[in-house]
Structure 1
Amino acid sequence: MSDPLTDAVGAVVSYLLRPLVFLLSHLVPRNDRVWAFTADQSGRFAENGKYLFLHAVGRSDEIRPIWLARDREVLTELRGRGYETYHVDDWPGKYVALRARCVFTSHGVPFWQYIGGATVVQMWHGNALKRLGNDIESGTSLLVRSHRKHVIRNWDRFVTTGTADALAPFTSAFDVTPEQALPTGYPRDDVFFESVEGATVGLGEYDRLRELSEEATLISYMPTSRNAFEGDQGTIDGSELGIEELDRTLVEHDAYLLLKAHPWSNVELDEAEFDRVILLPSDLDIYPVLPLVDVLVTDYSSIYFDYLLLDRPVVFYAYDLDAYRDARGFYFDYDEVTPGPKPETSDELHEWLRHFLQGDDGFEDERARVRNRFFRHQDGGASERIYRHVRDEVLDLSADRSDSVEDGTRRDTERSVEPGRSL
């Protein structure tokens, strides 16, 4: 049995050594054809990293894509599907991080100490409506700010959806320059336009929801994280929705409500008490599901920007708008960039849902205006644009595309997970 004190001391020493490891990692030679992918802190297989990885797997005659997992179940699932993946805390995973020329992420990189000298592509996780980064961080020391800017947020490329308004918040929040910006669109949105092999990996709910969507109307309620509030103000218990009356409305119109909370939110709701309410796991990758959804209900979540690409109704149920704006703040005028009705009470919410359930709309032009304001590309080609940019312009690999990722000979596209393969 390990000693808690020894473990604690070891953890502190390891943490303090990370800056030194980061400096030394610059000395490790990197393999231009080894690309490492990861997602968010939860360890799930999701976000932009997932979709670019799946795209890159199809180009494995040119490069060697490797998923660095943070969750053991995800590791097992992906290996079982034939994808090359390692856990970031195991030595093979650390070695991949040290040797990969490119690291793709949509959040922070927990293994940042191993990626000195790598090309880091930050794909982020949505257009910014709420303030973030520099614009909400206060009271931090000069040392912490310097560490964030020069190490944690020292990104070589930053993916945006391609317009000036899409980039502006990140220039303010993270000091992203136009030279860093990669205006390609988000890989996770590709699944709206075309089938992506592997997109439903780990989504046990998908088949059920797809079948349901063929028989009934699906409404999804996806509020943002409520961590801007203290105490129980961020709890989702259904009272804000008038859930009992809403359930009856859903029955009347042969519709279902898919409730997916933000991973940081607290949900106190029992699905068994309702006929037409389905609780989705908070860590579910929602992007393969969104094309099945007929109406989106949200508040301040950036999910609605992506959903605009499907050109379907969005209801902005911002019942605590003033309080949230005071607590977090926005980059844009809320009314200007939210193309849909804005009910303030549950009764008004039900009225607007009945409006859309009856087949009425009326917000098509508004959605098009906001969609064009934030998306340069409105297609399924984001992954390919990023892939080509990094391959051709960052690494200049386009001149010799038939080389192996290992020894200069062309190889087939079989995906191996043998730990002994050379990097």
Structure 2
Amino acid sequence: MSFITKILDFSKDSPIVYPLLVLYQFILIFFRFVDFMWPKEDNLLVFSGQAGQKLSGNSKYLFQKFIEHYSDEFQTVWITRNQSLVESKYSERSKNCRAVYQYSLDGILTLLRARVIFYVMGGADIPFVAFSQKTITIQLWHGVPIKRIGVTQKLESNKRFSFARFLETPQFTYWISSSAIDRNSTALCSGLPIDRVVITGYPRNDYLVEQKKAPSSEILVRFPYLQKKIILYAPTWRERAKTRFFPFDDFCLGEIKAFLETNDAYLLLRSHRMDDISARVEKNSDGPLTGDRVIAATSDVFEDVQELLPFVDILISDYSSIWVDYLLLDRPLIFVPYDLESYENDRGLLYDYYQITPGPKISTNKELIEAMQEYIHNPEKDSEKRACIREIFHKYEDGLSYMRIYEIIKRCK
């Protein structure tokens, strides 16, 4: 467990909190001063992601695109606090591409020399650093926000003091978005001036657009069942409650399995990475939920959900931004907003949920099976609704967001 993890949940009244806060702020001020004084290399780009632990999300796909297309122009560096990632990924310094460990001299000097730093979460991606105006910081984020985030969320400050606010408040030079409405929402949530929120599209969705035309066959070698009909159930994370799969009073696992057998389909369950998926149903404790044609598809199995989405025929979700990405594939969506009222009261949503979700909102086992059945036989159903919402949330569908981000960097030189 990292030092960051240990201090995140200290009680507000703990005597150690304020000394740590003072120390942390001193470190940030000192690093910002050193960063201002340090000479920059215009062609050095540093990428981070998922609290410094994994090569994933928008940062991963942008990193790969810059290696593929701009290796003659830029040095691309992945910075991480996961030593095994340094050793296993890009350990051999290929042409202008490498990975470095943050808490090393090489890592610190790389951060100080970099002209551009990419984030996908916040200060937790690269803790204990703060950059001066000489360094361009770009927030790639990790999903088109449907629920309230940042300063707009309804959750009151916990009675417990949290260092997370201090770890996630870098003043980004730019924050990317996917459309005009997303740009407005992002500016509202982040508190950034709207001219610093730029519409580029998401690099991870460049991959989806490419895969829609020609899906990769590599994943089929490991998971041959993906050649069948695939239904993915991927709800969002809930701060105050454990996410429930199949929260139906009439839940019947046998009926779902019979449906899957009849249609030669598989149902994949994917919990949020911060959720611990239970293998049992809360209302029915007579056996494991997964098995046979119901398969756990957690991040331990599919580390990157973007690689799975091109093989998904129907997506079931709720308030997660995964369904916004999935719109680019123009395939059926089913929604299970079983706790919509409490979720809106606690966290809050940025939009009218029933206006922006282009698919049935179901609340029973019977409705779920009927919706899946209808979409399997007629996947074009609701295609016009999906197209309308897709135009709202995706300005670009060309798979070229990396080029637009490249143009931003070039203008900043």
Is the pair's TM-score, using the shorter chain for normalization, greater than 0.5? yes
3-state SS in 1 of match to 2:267: strand
For 1:195-210, list aligned pairs within 5 A: 207-209=221-223
Task: From 80, 90, 114, give the equivalent of 2:104.
Answer: 90
1:357-409 superposed Cα distances (whole Å, 9 cap, x missing partner): 22354211110111111211112101111112212x111xxxxxxxxxxxxxx
Q: Which residue of 2 aligns with 1:258?
A: 268
Q: Given that residues 101 and 118 in structure 1 are in contact (C-alpha distance below 8 angstroms), is that contact kept between their aligned partners in structure 2?
A: yes
CA 1:206–1:131 in 2, change beyond 3 Å: closer, same or farther?
A: farther
Q: Helix, strand or coil for the counterpart of 1:301?
A: coil
Once the two structures are superposed, what CA deviation does each residue of 1:107-135 show, in whole Å capped at 9, x if it has no partner?
Answer: 11323525333100111111111011111
User: In the alignment, does 2:81 pair up with 1:63?
Assistant: no
Tell which has more relative contact order, 1 or 2 (C-alpha 8 A, sep 6+).
1
**Distance in 1, Cα, partners of 2:237 & 2:98:** 33
Look up the match of 1:218. 230
Residues 89/206 of structure 1: CA separation in 2 closer, same or farther (3 Å cut)? farther
Go from structure 1 to structure 2 and tell me whether the alpha carbon gap of 1:366 and 1:358 turns closer, same or farther (over 3 Å shift). Answer: same
Q: Measure, in 2, the Cα distance between the counterparts of 1:206 and 1:80.
A: 27
**Post-superposition shift, 1:238?**
5.3
CA shift for structure 1 position 175: 1.5
Would you say 1:155 and 2:169 are equivalent positions? Answer: no
1:377 matches 2:377: no
Match of 1:234 among 228, 239, 242: 242
| DSSP-derived class of the 2:38 partner | coil
Task: Provide the residue aligned with 1:420 in structure 2.
Answer: none
Give the gaps of 5 or more residues in structure 1.
1-7, 396-423
- Structure 2 partner of 1:394: 412
By how many angstroms is 1:16 displaced? 5.2
* 1:15 alignment partner in structure 2: 24
2:342 & 2:310 partners in 1: Cα distance?
32
Equivalent position amino acid for 1:191 in 2 = Y
**Is the 8 Å Cα contact of residues 82 and 101 (structure 2) preserved in structure 1?**
yes
Provide structure 2 residue ranges, at least 5 long, that are not aligned to the other structure: 1-15, 281-287
**Aligned-pair distance for 1:299?**
0.5
Q: Output aligned runs, 1:4-403, within 5 Å.
A: 12=20, 15=24, 17-19=26-28, 20-41=30-51, 43-58=53-68, 59-80=70-91, 82=94, 83-109=97-123, 110-111=126-127, 113-116=129-132, 117-136=134-153, 138-139=156-157, 152-163=169-180, 165-194=181-210, 207-209=221-223, 211-214=224-227, 216-227=228-239, 229=240, 233-236=241-244, 242-269=252-279, 274-282=291-299, 284-391=303-410, 393-395=411-413
- Check whether the contact 2:54–2:82 (CA below 8 A) recurs between aligned residues: yes
Letter of the 2:225 partner, please give it.
L
Decide whether aligned partners of structure 1 residues 183 and 80 sit closer, same or farther in structure 2, where only a CA change above 3 A counts.
Answer: same
CA distance in structure 2 between the partners assigned to 1:360 and 1:33 by the alignment: 46
Does the Cα contact within 8 Å between 1:226 and 1:264 map onto a contact in 2? no
Q: For residues 48-83 of structure 1, what are the alpha-carbon distances to aligned partners after superposition, in whole Å with 9 as ceiling and x for unaligned? A: 100110011121100101011232332223125755
Correspondence for 2:6:
none
Q: For residue 417 of structure 1, what is the aligned residue in structure 2? A: none
Matched residue of 2:235: which SS? Answer: coil
Deviation of residue 341 (structure 1)? Answer: 0.8
Question: Which deviates the most, 45-54 or 186-195?
Answer: 186-195
Identity across aligned pairs (percent)?
A: 28
How far apart, CA to CA, are the structure 2 residues paired with 1:103 and 1:121? Answer: 6
Which aligned runs of 4 or more in structure 1 are off by greater than 6 angstroms?
A: none
| Contact 2:187–2:197, Cα closer than 8 Å, also in 1 | no
Q: What whole-Å deviation, never above 9, does each CA across 1:277-296 have from its counterpart, x for those lacking one?
A: 12123362111211111111
Matched residue type, 1:90: S
Q: Which has the larger displacement, 305-314 or 18-27?
A: 18-27
Distance in 2 between residues matched to 1:267 and 1:79, nearest whole Å = 32
Q: Secondary structure at the match of 2:51?
A: coil
Shift of 1:322: 1.5
Q: Tell me, in whole angstroms, the C-alpha distance in 2 between the residues paired with 1:317 and 1:138.
A: 26
Provide the C-alpha distance between the structure 2 equivalents of 1:168 and 1:37, rounded to a whole number of angstroms.
25
Distance of 1:286 and 1:14 partners within structure 2: 38
Q: Which moved more, 1:11-20 or 1:364-373?
A: 11-20
Shift of 1:148: 5.7
The answer to whether the 8 Å contact 2:61/2:204 transfers is: yes
Structure 1 residues 272 and 131 mapped into 2: Cα distance closer, same or farther (>3 Å)? closer
Alignment: residue pair count: 371
Residues 63 and 189 (structure 1 numbering): CA distance in 2 closer, same or farther, change over 3 Å? same
